A and B are shown apart, each in its own frame.
Chain A
Amino acid sequence: MLPLFSLAIEVVVKGLILIAVLMLFAAYMTFSERVLLARVQLRLGPNRVGPFGLMQPLADGLKLLAKESFQPAQANTFVYWLAPSISLFTALFAFTLIPIGGAVTLFGHEVFLRIADLNSGILFILAFSSLAVYGVVLAGWGSNNRYSMLGGLRGTAQMISYEVPMGLSLLTVALAAGTLSLPQIVEAQRETHWFVLTQPISFIIYIITGFAETNRAPFDLPEAEHELTGGYHTEYGGMKFAMFFLAEYVNILAISSIAVTLFFGGFSGPFDLPVVWFLLKVACFVFLFMWVRATLPRFRYDQLMRFSWKVLMPLATLNFIVTAFFILGFR
Chain B
Amino acid sequence: MLRGLFIVLKYAFRRPVTTLYPEEKRKLPERSRGRHYLTKWEDGKERCVGCELCAIVCPAQAIYVKPEANDPEKPHSHGERYASDFQINMLRCIFCGYCEEACPTGAIILSNEYELSGYTRESLIYTKEMLTEQKPGDSGRDPKREI
Contacts and interface: CB of A to CB of B under 8 A. Distances in A.
Given A36-B12, A40-B12, A295 B5 contact: yes
Contact of B5 (A39, A43, A44, A291): A291
Contacts of A296: 1, 4
A40 B9 contact: yes
Contacts of B14: 42
Interface residues on B, range: 10 to 19
Nearest to B10: A40
A8 interface: no
Contacts of B9: 40, 291
Contact of B17 (A36, A40, A43, A292): A43
B117 interface: no
A40 B18 contact: no
6 contacts: A39-B12, A42-B11, A291-B8, A295-B4, A295-B8, A296-B1
Contacts of A43: 16-18
Given A39-B11, A40-B11, A43-B18, 14 more contacts: A38-B16, A39-B12, A40-B9, A40-B12, A42-B11, A42-B14, A42-B16, A43-B17, A291-B8, A292-B5, A295-B4, A295-B5, A295-B8, A296-B1
B5 to A, nearest CB: 5
A303 interface: no
Nearest to A292: B5
Contacts of A192: none
Contacts of B1: 296
A41 B11 contact: yes
Interface of B: 1, 4-5, 8-9, 11-12, 14, 16-18, 20
Nearest to A36: B12
A294 interface: yes
Interface of A: 36, 38-44, 291-292, 294-296
A112 B20 CA distance: 49
A114 B11 CA distance: 39
B29 to A, nearest CB: 24
Nearest to B4: A295
B44 to A, nearest CB: 46
B12 A44 contact: no
A140 B17 CA distance: 41
A61 to B, nearest CB: 25
A77 B14 CA distance: 50
A284 to B, nearest CB: 13
Contacts of B11: 39-42
Nearest to A218: B1
A203 B17 CA distance: 37
Contacts of A291: 5, 8-9
B8 A42 contact: no
B17 to A, nearest CB: 5
A40 B16 CA distance: 9
A44 B8 contact: no
B8 A294 contact: yes
Contacts of A295: 4-5, 8
Nearest to A39: B12
Contacts of B4: 295-296
Shortest Cβ-Cβ A-B pairs, 6 listed? A295-B8, A39-B12, A40-B12, A44-B18, A44-B16, A43-B18
